[in-house]
């Protein structure tokens, strides 16, 4: 669970032996006057798979935006431990 200025996020994932997979649902909760948001106010579901280590993770996935599938790739790096 998480969120930012315009969106909130929910989802789940599983992980084992350096591999992970999951889904993420993005929903807009606030108007963005004068801004063209990436998903145009739609609820978007993303499925992903990837690999992880102690300080970074990589993910490949697909987001269903309306009737279109949008592929994405991301690298997540831990900048500071809590």
pLDDT of res. 31: 79
Task: Check if the beta carbon of residue 22 is closer than 8 Å to that of residue 48.
Answer: yes
pLDDT of res. 81: 81
Task: Check if the beta carbon of residue 28 is closer than 8 Å to that of residue 9.
Answer: no
pLDDT of res. 27: 87
Residue 12 vs residues 25, 34, 36, 67: alpha-carbon distances, Å: 9, 32, 28, 23
pTM of the model: 0.76
Closest CA to 24 of 67, 69, 56, 64: 64
Q: Can you read off the two tokens belonging to residue 23?
A: 């889904």
Task: Check if the beta carbon of residue 45 is closer than 8 Å to that of residue 25.
Answer: yes
pLDDT of res. 59: 96
List the chain pLDDT tens, one digit each, 82 residues.
Answer: 888 888 889 999 999 999 999 999 988 888 778 877 777 777 889 999 999 999 999 999 999 888 889 899 999 999 998 7
């Amino acid at each position: 669970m998480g969120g930012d200025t315009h969106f909130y996020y929910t989802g789940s994932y599983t992980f084992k032996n350096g591999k992970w997979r999951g889904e993420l649902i993005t929903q807009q909760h606030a108007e963005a006057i004068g801004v063209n948001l990436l998903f145009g106010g739609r609820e978007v579901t993303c499925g992903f798979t990837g690999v992880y280590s102690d300080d970074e993770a990589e993910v490949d996935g697909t987001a269903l935006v309306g009737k279109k599938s949008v592929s994405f790739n991301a690298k997540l790096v831990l900048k500071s431990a809590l």
